[in-house]
Structure 1
Amino acid sequence: MASLALTTPISEPPNSSTTSTNALTVSHQIGIAILVLAFILGFPGNIFVVWSVLCRVQQRSVTCLLVLNLAAADAFVLLSAPFFLRLLAGGRGWEFGDVMCKTVHYLCCVNMYVSIYLICLMSLDRWLAVTRPFLSQRLRNKRTIYLAMLGIWVMAFLLALPMPFYRRIRQIREYNNMTLCLPYHFNFKGHEVFQYLFETLMGFVVPFTFILACYTSVIRRLRSAMFHGRVKGSLLILLIIITFAVFWLPYHLINILQVIGVLQDSQTLSNLVKAARPNVTAFAFLSSSVNPILYVFAGSSYIRRAGLSFMAKLFEGTHSDHSVLSRRGTSTDNSNLAKLTIKSLQSRDRVRNKSCGEEESKKMEMSCKEELKSLTTVQ
């Protein structure tokens, strides 16, 4: 994940025009507003989700546990918001040293990977519940779920390793030697292309293709005669997927444009990317604060009845929906198996009857021939 701060320094260089200063000020105000909104809404909201799951939910489904991990990752990354607010509002550049420069951006990148691959696991779980109910029931145990979530966290920390490698503090002479935390690619285009292409492929294209494949199969299955009605768990996960795509797609499009600009050596495209990246990155930062709002809307029917426990009721509802879905799949598969068994028995009986009839006719034919032969002999 690229820097949430502007790629241009906070203070304008000498001889800058009034127009550019005003534009920079407006850009800073937008960035500060987005970060404040994300922190005020997102951090308490995600903490509330974590508390609801840990203290209120009695039967934790796979969806519930994945939402818990997603909320914990979002709450953790939102703790970096004060660093970027200080950078934007302070006007003194990056004041926290090289280690924090690398660490903060590394954790933001880890959150991006954790979020998208947890959504992948949600989609896989939903696909198994709908299309492979027997296999889903066998895999739905605590050991398998915890191992899968641990694997996602480990993979996210590994995939995010290029971020601290390509991030360091630099002093910009043109801006009175102000220190900034900026991308650094060792003046080699290959490193720049690798970072942004790798980030977009592994953080969006590959996982999102997997998600679309899973849900395409799920939708086809749900539209068949096998399942009817609305499934809350599926709708909740669909909302999470759509939200992630809306907030992160602009960021990854900018990554692709930057790669194209580097390969084509286009200064115009590079300037466009530099101007757009701070805004799309701040917009992506909002994705960590939106999911609790989705849960509130999804669980609005429980608010009057359950009060602060409404979110627990929502997640318990996803557990019951999955159980109903699995039972439907199991009963349907059992009925289909019974039908197939009956058909096979009927077919076997018809074959047996047919063979028995042929044998009887042969016996009757032989007896007639013998009787005719005996009559001929007597005559």
Structure 2
Amino acid sequence: MAEQMATTPDYNYDYGNDSTNKSIHSNQAESPEHCKDAACVITVLFNVILFVLGIFGNGAVIWITGFKMNKSVNTTWYLSLALSDFIFCATLFLTVDYMVKNSWTFGLFMCKFSSFAMTLNMYSSIFILAIISMDRCITVKFPVWAQNQRTVQKAYVVVVLVWIMSSLLSIPPAKFREILDITTRVICYNNYENHQKTIVLLRFTFGFCIPFMTIFTCYSVLISKLRTNQISKSTKPYKIMSILIASFFICWLPYQILSVLELGRSEHSDAFKTAQQVSAALASANSCLNPFLYAFMAKDLKKKCYSFLSKIESAIDEETRTAFRATSITNSVDHRNSTAI
């Protein structure tokens, strides 16, 4: 059959890229082997841990930012991040089931949706991080404008636009997702045909390069301005954002690089396949990291009296208060400078 089939191991189906493999039918038609080897067992356990931690952690952030804290621009950003991560983590049980059974049992729609959820998570997360960086930069660089124009309603509009754009960019990978019934098993795979290069370059450009340049530029301006005016006594909120951004790039950079390197390859060495599996697991891990980064960056980490949820709320609330204080102080400094001329 002339279709292009996935050569990536099935238990990494959410991240596999495709190359021509006409022998897949004969190879895969054998009786499916359940998850017995060490690599598969470790991957299953890792995904189960991510599922539990991701659902609990992101669910906690959604509850805190959506229902417990006062609505603000900052809580809107973090609520969007948590929703994106929560949706992806909720689909991890599909991955676990597929790895254990070595057969896809959820139909074509869920096969496509699993790919859509992963890509949506990637785009929406990096877009929101880029927007947060721009928001910080504008707040510090143009405090008067930010104080008058920076509203929760406008933040909601921006978030909606981000999700619409992320959804549109996530449709092409899902479109090429297919299932194939081979005697004793069903596989869920990517059938990019001749569009793999377009999909990979689109993802690398909009899901990595452009957001990276935006974040780098904003943080360069932000750091320069903060050092000049010394407008913020607490640097913790900026450390939180820096760590969130760093964790995203650390988790996603290997996957993006390997996706580009795979273009044009017809065969994959065992080392390359292992690297793909590790990069896929690392990309998945990013979806459950953020809530714990909030907690560990909050005040009084070493004191046992504070609960996990209190730490998350403290971290987000501190950033909100510091951003407001930075705007007010910068506004005051600019006002004094203008009256002294």
Range class of TM-score, shorter chain: 0.7 to 0.9
Alignment pair present for 1:160 and 2:170: yes
Runs of 4+ in 1 over 4 A off after TM superposition: 5-9, 12-15, 268-275, 302-308
How do residues 332-347 of structure 1 correspond to structure 2 at under 5 angstroms?
332-340=333-341
Q: Which has the larger radius of gyration?
A: 1
After superposition, give the CA deviation of every residue in 1:335-373 in whole Å (9 maximum; x if it has no partner).
111122xxxxxxxxxxxxxxxxxxxxxxxxxxxxxxxxx
Residues paired across the two proteins, number: 320
Give, in whole Å, the separation in 1 of the partners of 2:181 and 2:292: 40
The answer to whether residue 51 in structure 2 is matched with residue 51 in structure 1 is: no
**Taking structure 1 as reference, are residues 143 and 228 closer, same or farther at Cα in structure 2, changes over 3 Å only?**
closer
Aligned to 1:376: none
Are the aligned partners of 1:257 and 1:273 in contact in 2 as well (CA < 8 Å)?
no
Q: What is the rounded CA distance, in whole Å, between the counterparts of 1:67 and 1:194 in structure 2? A: 31
Which one of the candidate residues 184, 191, 198 is aligned to 1:194? Answer: 198
The residue number in structure 2 matching 1:137 is: 147
Give the counterpart letter for 1:336 in structure 2: N
Separation of aligned partners in 1, 2:306 and 2:274: 47
- Provide the C-alpha distance between the structure 2 equivalents of 1:203 and 1:249, rounded to a whole number of angstroms: 10
Partner residue in 1 for 2:76: 65
Residue 240 in structure 1 maps to residue 244 in structure 2: yes
CA contact (8 A) 1:38 1:286 kept: yes
Instruction: State yes or no: 1:74 paired with 2:85.
Output: yes
Overall identity of the aligned pairs, in %: 25
Q: For structure 2, list consecutive stretches of 5 or more residues without a partner in the other structure.
A: 1-11, 19-23
State the secondary structure of the residue aligned to 2:180: strand
Give the counterpart of 1:126 among 136, 140, 158. Answer: 136
Q: State the shift of 1:194 in Å.
A: 0.5
**Structure 1 equivalent of residue 212 of structure 2:** 208
Pair 1:104-2:108 in alignment: no
Contact kept, 8 Å, 1:5 with 1:84, in 2: the verdict is no
What SS does the aligned partner of 1:182 have? Answer: strand
Secondary structure at the aligned position of 1:301 is classed as coil
**TM-score, normalization: structure 1?**
0.77
Task: With the length of structure 2 as denominator, give the TM-score of the two structures.
Answer: 0.85
| 2:100 aligned partner, one-letter code | A
Q: Does 1:170 find its partner at 2:174?
A: no
Correspondence 1:76-91 to 2 at 5 A: 76-91=87-102
Cα gap change, 1:195 to 1:14, in 2 (>3 Å): closer
The question of whether the paired residues in 1 share the 8 Å contact of 2:294 and 2:316 is answered with no
2:161 pairs, out of 151, 154, 157, with 151
Distance 1:193 1:24 in 2: 34
Q: Distance in 2 between matches of 1:332 and 1:26?
A: 61
Counterparts of residues 318-333 of structure 1 (less than 5 Å): 318-333=319-334
Contact 1:226 1:332 in 2 (8 A): no
8 Å contact from structure 1 (residues 7, 278) kept in 2: no
- Judging by fraction of residues, say which structure has more helix: 1
Q: 1:253 aligns with which of 216, 240, 257?
A: 257
Corresponding residue for 1:356? none
